A and B are shown apart, each in its own frame.
Chain A
Amino acid sequence: MSEIIDILLGLGDKFASHIVLAASAIGLGILVALPLAIWASRSPAVSRLALGFASLVQTIPALALLALFFPILLSLRTVFGEDLPTLGFLPALLALALYALLPILRNAVTAQANLDQQILEAADGVGMTSWQKLRLVEAPLAAPFIMAGIRTASVWTIGAATLATTIGQPSLGDPIFAGLQTQNWALVVAGCIASAGLALAADALLGMIERGIASRRKWQWGAGLTAVILGLCAAFIAQGGSEDDETIIIASKQFSEQYILAQLIGSQLEQAGYTVAYRDGLGSAVVHSAVASSNIDISVDYTGTIWTNELGRIDNPGREEMYDTIVDWERETTGVRVLGRLGFENAYAFAMRADRSAALGITSLEDMAAVAPQLTLGGDPEFFERPEWIAVREAYGLRVGETRNFSPTFMYNALKSGEADAISAYTSDGRIAADKLVVLEDPREALPSYDAMLMLSPRIADDKAIAAALRPLIGAISVEAMREANFAVDREGEGKLTPKEAARELARKIGL
């Protein structure tokens, strides 16, 4: 419990940026929805079109909507120039504002449609122009309903804003995603408490404004509004100025190794006198583009990932050639500087429980091919779509009985409980050693290499001091050391470390 409170107290800046993001999105939603609602009340066609569009947006999962804005903004760069941010605040703002649109729009349109016809006729009868009618009659009578829509939108938006973490916008999703990946439930609970508390507070204050408007009590909505404005001011002030151009931003994808390495890189840079900030839990697909566009300065990526996702290659020229090709390609195409390899691989490999491996007599993929039809194979959600799997299947003529998808964290539990006979493991995963798993050999070299590389954005590519601060990491981390650090974070109970602690331990071990 005290752990959760400690985490909550340290969430101040995430809290502030969460409020700023959610409030801006709701504000933008209101700015778009209200004029649209007025237009819709005067034209049934506009009403159908606007509500239809808003409902359609609502059917897109929030996570997908956030991710979609990355390619959209990227393509808009041809119009607005290279300075248009594609990650972080802007795409999160746009996606969440779209999401906030529906409840506000629907309530405003419904309120206008349900206004008492006799009162509207009276407004015409006393000689109001259409603007006077809107200002003096329609708007005040619809206001409580519109306010109710804004209230609904606020609660949704505050909840959905936690997902902004995946596109590099700091929010209360940061502790939630980090906690889910590293199985640190205190972090998850703290993040949930903070965002739920924020949603409840917003709901209560907006509810007070809503009731104040409905019962025409000025002091009530005035007090609610004042509280909301004060809260927003505090958040804007708290958020302002925490980052500037000098800050080095370090990315991590959504797994423990990435969190640990980000902390390791961060502490190296801090020792060299730099200010650093972390963008944790980014979607794997956006990290490379984020570095290439200098939205983020440093990431750790893997040769096999870049090879297939960025170069679009499916062949396997061997470890060294693959690395050299990528270094040249990045330098010439994206301007990203590959500073070097950290020394370990986080490749795909197939792992089995030792007893199962012995019982079936399987130690390599060739052995597995013989009995494959009787086996259930587990993989992470993308594995069975990846070229590596296709390559392995073709190289060994694998015909597997069943394939099942698990999240990386639960894959090992599935292996342990016998729900899968073999899984697509990662070679640097701490649980390989901890669970005493057998990693199947790959005699035909069908699986490509996944050397961890240190990537620097074009903005800092030529910065000699940064390169000097990070060079001690190059070639320094063995797969055993990485496995140990990963396991310390992934394990349950005694000896479990936070990524930061694990990074410190790792630094000590490799002699930094």
Chain B
Amino acid sequence: MVNTLVTPTAGRVLFGDDDVTTLPQAKLRRRVGYVFQGIGLFPHFTVGENIAVGPRLAGEQLQGERIAELLALVELDPDMASRLPDELSGGQRQRVGVARALAGDPELLIMDEPFGALDPITRDALGEKVRELHARLGLTTIMVTHDMAEALLLADRVLVMDQGDLVADETPRALLNGHGGKIAQGLVAVPREQAERLASMEDDPT
């Protein structure tokens, strides 16, 4: 909704001080970095071309150095710029997806279940990486996820949606201390119980 891929049926979305529906669509989308659930790299573009696509649409050409810098940012080998997405692993592809989202120096980064398709180890490493970039580049990031543990570990602020309604808006610490209402607590209970069970196994050697 923020980048108007979907139009709200009620209410407004403000970007800065402007209602997003009043902003020129293509321009708005170039100000918002978007990391897709399905990664969505263009299969006929090289990695470098994929990363440079946003600025290219805006009429600027991204230099090779900048592409290498972006690849380094997501911990990929700069030589990968000339490869096609098909030759990459899932984790590498989503790193390219993140690099593409960051290429236009966006004011806002939206991540729609960005790690859903990845294995747990890649997922954890990439989550940490994104959090680090968020801090280093001073970004505003909105991440959508079904995994409460991921939300609690990565976010500064967690908003819980239920059937389209906002039911909680708390810090991770507040959520873990019992705030946010029944639905939010139901979600927090899952990773907490998992952690307790894992911990009890460690304590009990039998």
Interface residues of chain A, those whose CB is within 8 Å of chain B, are: 118-119, 121-129, 132, 136-137, 140-141, 216
Contact = CB atoms under 8 A, between A and B. Distances in A.
B29 interface: yes
A122 B57 contact: no
Contact of A126 (B25, B38, B39, B53): B53
B54 interface: yes
Contact of A119 (B27, B34, B43, B54): B43
A121 B34 CA distance: 11
A75 B84 CA distance: 56
Given A126-B57, A128-B57, A118 B40 contact: yes
Contact of B34 (A126, A129, A136, A140): A126
Chain B interface helix/strand/loop/mixed: loop
Interface in B34-53: 34, 36-44, 53
Given A127-B57, A128-B57, A132-B57, A122 B26 contact: no
A119 B42 contact: yes
Given A124-B29, A127-B25, 10 more contacts: A118-B36, A118-B38, A118-B40, A119-B43, A125-B5, A125-B29, A127-B28, A127-B29, A141-B43, A141-B44
B29 A118 contact: no
B95 interface: no
B3 interface: yes
A487 B62 CA distance: 80
B111 to A, nearest CB: 12
B42 A122 contact: yes
A216 B86 CA distance: 13
B6 to A, nearest CB: 11
A127 B108 CA distance: 14
B42 A137 contact: yes
Contact of A118 (B3, B26, B39, B58): B39
A453 B5 CA distance: 76
A141 B40 CA distance: 14
Contacts of A123: 42
A137 B42 CA distance: 7
Contacts of A122: 36, 38, 40-42
Name which of A121, A122, A126 has the most chain B CB atoms within 10 A of its CB: A126
A222 to B, nearest CB: 17
Given A141-B44, A216-B44, A127 B38 contact: no
B93 to A, nearest CB: 12
Nearest to A121: B40
30 contacts: A118-B36, A118-B38, A118-B39, A118-B40, A119-B41, A121-B5, A121-B36, A122-B40, A122-B42, A124-B5, A124-B29, A125-B34, A125-B36, A126-B29, A126-B30, A126-B34, A126-B100, A127-B27, A127-B28, A127-B29, A127-B57, A128-B57, A129-B26, A132-B57, A136-B53, A140-B44, A141-B43, A141-B44, A216-B44, A216-B84
Contacts of B5: 121, 124-125
A70 to B, nearest CB: 46
Interface in B82-108: 84, 100
Size range of the interface on B? Answer: 20 to 34
Contacts of A136: 42, 53
Interface in B114-146: none
A215 B40 CA distance: 20
Interface of B: 3, 5, 25-30, 34, 36-44, 53-54, 57-58, 84, 100
Nearest to A120: B40
Contacts of B43: 119, 141
Contacts of A124: 5, 29
A136 B53 CA distance: 10
Closest 3 CB pairs of A and B: A122-B40, A127-B29, A118-B38
A137 B3 CA distance: 20
Contacts of B42: 119, 122-123, 136-137
Contacts of A119: 40-43
Contact of A125 (B3, B27, B58): B3
A348 to B, nearest CB: 67
A136 B44 CA distance: 9
A457 to B, nearest CB: 57
Contacts of B54: 126-127
A140 B46 CA distance: 14
A137 B37 CA distance: 19
Nearest to B58: A127
A141 B41 CA distance: 13
A121 B5 CA distance: 8
Given A119-B43, A122-B41, A122-B42, A128 B36 contact: no
A131 to B, nearest CB: 10
Contacts of A141: 43-44
Contacts of B44: 140-141, 216
Nearest to B54: A126
A136 B45 CA distance: 9
B33 to A, nearest CB: 9
A187 to B, nearest CB: 49
A52 to B, nearest CB: 32
Contacts of B57: 126-129, 132
Contacts of B41: 119, 122
A31 B124 CA distance: 52
Nearest to B97: A122
Contacts of B27: 127
Nearest to A129: B26
A122 B96 CA distance: 13
B23 to A, nearest CB: 11
A172 B44 CA distance: 41
Nearest to A143: B44
A504 B25 CA distance: 79
A141 B44 CA distance: 7
Nearest to A127: B29
Contacts of A129: 26, 57
Nearest to A140: B44
Contacts of A140: 44
